[in-house]
Amino acid sequence: MGNQFAITAVRSMRTYAHHVAEVLSRYPSFSSGSGDLDIVDALRTDRFADGELEVSIDASIRGKSVYLFASAARNEAGIAVEEAKIELYHAVDALKRAQAARIAIFEPYVSCSRSDRTTRRNSVGLWIHFKTLSSLGADQIITYQLHSDKSKTMLDPTQCAIDDVPGLHLLKKRICDVYVRTPEALEEEVRANWAFCSVDAGGEKLARRFANAFGAPLVIAHKQRDYSKANTIDSINILSAVPIEGKKLWIVDDMIDTASSVESLIRALAPMKPAEINLAAVHAVFSGQASERLSRLSKEGLLSRVLVTDSLYCPSCSPDDIPGLEVVPSSDLSATIIATIEKNGSLSGLFNAFDAERYLRRPRLL
């Protein structure tokens, strides 16, 4: 008997979706029907002379759960944000009309996640996006690290559930695996000589989770912004209960966009003589001059390493472009999420607070 679910993708996420399908095909419970699991290339997008588009599916999905991978951010197909969203909406409609039993949108990075509130007479892009997907028939939306915890409450969960998986756990595990390695090093080195720093006051909660996970001090950066201009900072105040001199600092955030805030913060921290400054973020948005800024900081010796995930396509995510850059893959986690859902398992373990000591003391396979 074949699998009762399938993996597909719009043009913006096909390579990533193929990786996830490949991982799933190695699961013993799914391997026998792996041939009908990967239908990533079955979605076809046709453009008409007047600019309109149409999406169709060249595979039978009747009665199946379909996981549709999508991204409206920078992507391998070079599709603009607006077109990528329209293609996604058409794809959901096509899957619904093909009588998929259930449609789950897997969007690792939601490009409009910062448009999550109204402060004046403005539209709210994230609500529009989620509401459109739900209205078209999506049953579930799976993401990694939305910009705000409150965003997952935008929709009625009886109509469309939102699972915002903490992508930061991927970075915490990589820090443990590569830069800590043992419980002894955690106790003797990390807790004595490391500190975790927020990019701004709004990121305090996120940075505090890192500090609590590793048992290290917390540093908070408070920015004074000129809100009449995008991506501008007037001044930065650093709040810390411990001296920063000699500390290994990890600046943590959900995303790196233009890297303007990060550059200003690193230059404000450098005179305090930390042993090194590192940067960790889930989403490598890297807009504008972000790569140049990070590269410049690295070459000046102000930035030691940068950890990001592959939640969106990033052609400049290479140590050749940014010295010290490391990209943490997320396809295994995506496969785990899908496998857990298909086995009617619990995802709660992915949402629990991360404990570095427990992780380092876990039993290892030989």
pLDDT confidence of 2, banded at 50, 70, 90?
A: low
The share of the chain scoring above pLDDT 70, in percent, equals 95
pLDDT of residue 316: 80
pLDDT confidence of 234, banded at 50, 70, 90?
A: low
Q: What is the β-pairing status of strands 194-198 and 161-165?
A: unpaired
Query: What is d(CA 189, CA 208) in angstroms, rounded to the nearest whole number?
Result: 19
- Measured over the CA atoms of residue 226, residue 230, residue 234 and residue 237, the dihedral's sign is positive
pLDDT confidence of 33, banded at 50, 70, 90?
A: low
Fold equal for 5-166+331-347 and 168-328: yes
Q: Which fold has domain 168-328?
A: Rossmann fold (3.40.50)
pTM over 0.85: yes
Among the residue ranges 69-73, 194-198, 316-320, the one predicted with the least confidence is: 316-320
Which residues are CB-neighbours of 293 under 8 A, at least 6 positions away? 258, 259, 260, 262, 263
Segment holding 29, helix H or strand E: helix 28-31
Work out the burial of residue 256: count CB atoms within 10 Å of its CB; fewer than 13 is exposed, 13-18 middle, 19 or more buried: buried
Every domain of the chain and the residues it spans: 5-166+331-347, 168-328
366 pLDDT higher than 90: no
Work out the burial of residue 352: count CB atoms within 10 Å of its CB; fewer than 13 is exposed, 13-18 middle, 19 or more buried: exposed
pLDDT of residue 197: 97
Domain 5-166+331-347 -> CATH class: alpha beta
pLDDT confidence of 226, banded at 50, 70, 90?
A: low
DSSP per-residue codes, 87-123: HHHHHHHHHHHTT-SEEEEEESS-TTTT----SSS--
6 pLDDT higher than 60: yes
DSSP percent split of the chain into helix, strand, coil, nearest 5: 40, 25, 40
pLDDT of residue 75: 92
Q: How confident is the model over 253-304, as pLDDT tens digits?
A: 999 999 999 999 999 999 999 999 999 999 999 999 999 999 999 999 999 9
pLDDT of residue 229: 58
pLDDT of residue 318: 85
Segment holding 47, helix H or strand E: strand 43-47
Query: What is d(CA 303, CA 212) in angstroms, rounded to the nearest whole number?
Result: 23
Q: Are 125 and 299 in contact (CB under 8 A)?
A: no
- Please name the residue that has the structure tokens 């309109």: 52
pLDDT of residue 150: 77
Mean pLDDT of 169-184: 97
pLDDT of residue 113: 87
Which SS3 state, helix, strand or coil, does residue 348 take?
Answer: helix
The share of the chain scoring above pLDDT 90, in percent, equals 78
- In the DSSP assignment, the letter for residue 353 is P
Give alpha helix (H) positions in 221-330.
Answer: 260-269, 290-299
Mean pLDDT of 41-59: 95
Closest by alpha carbon to 249, among 221, 282, 285? 221
pLDDT of residue 233: 59
Torsion of CA 142, 314, 21, 5, to 10 degrees: 30
Mean pLDDT of 185-211: 95
- Please name the residue that has the structure tokens 């930035």: 303
pLDDT confidence of 320, banded at 50, 70, 90?
A: confident
Q: How confident is the model over 106-135, as pLDDT tens digits?
A: 999 999 888 878 888 899 999 999 999 999
Kindly tell me the number of DSSP H helices and DSSP E strands found in the chain. Answer: 13, 14
Segment holding 83, helix H or strand E: helix 81-97
35 pLDDT higher than 90: no
Number of neighbouring beta carbons within 10 Å of residue 317 = 19
- Mean pLDDT of all residues in the chain? 92
